[in-house]
Amino acid sequence: MQKLLILIGSLFIFTACSTPFNSGISGDTPVNGISGEDETALCTAMETEAEAQGVTEASKKFACYLGGQLSAAFAMDGDASFEETCQESYDSCMSEEAEESEDAGCELNFGDCAAPLADYEACTLANWDEMKTMADEMSCKEEEGDDTDDTADADTCANPEACKAFYDACPELDPCTATE
């Protein structure tokens, strides 16, 4: 029994010290210092976590929704409504099997950013949560009665609170302030 308690305690401590992606890299490691085998481990861990968190599915939903919107916008078939054309295209896209890509791996380019890996991972998870929420809220249904101009919303950029430390340390990576 005592061995079991020690094992559980050790597992708890190990889990508490690991980073969200469980790459085996310390959360204190500056992101611009990650390369070689560590970069490969981080990329693999991120891919695994994205799949587990439903981010891969959300990305597909997002892409299929946009494809459905474009199909409906350019459809020349007068018999189907915008909503029907969009939904048909979306459903078709979602039913397709994902293509196996010959992935060359991921390349993480943090430039001079020396923020800790833990801050980057926390920000990434928060951004994933926002993307999943957005993908779940998308619909081919046309909004009725609201023809207001949405450009004000398009001009507003707000990052999740969990990204504050990362973007404070690396403002050049902040999508809300990055210059083109």
Q: With beta carbons less than 8 A apart as the criterion, state whether 123 and 46 touch.
A: no
Which pLDDT value is given to residue 179?
A: 56
* Range 64-67 contact pairs with CB under 8 angstroms and sequence separation of 24 or more: 64/89, 64/90, 64/93, 64/94, 65/90, 65/135, 65/138, 65/139, 65/140, 67/93
10-residue averages of pLDDT along the chain (180 residues): 32 42 92 93 93 93 92 79 92 85 72 95 95 92 56 71 96 81
**Angle of CA points 27, 28, 32, to nearest 5°:** 95
| 108 Cβ contact partners less than 8 Å away, ≥ 6 residues apart | 31, 34, 39, 42, 43
pLDDT value of residue 102: 59
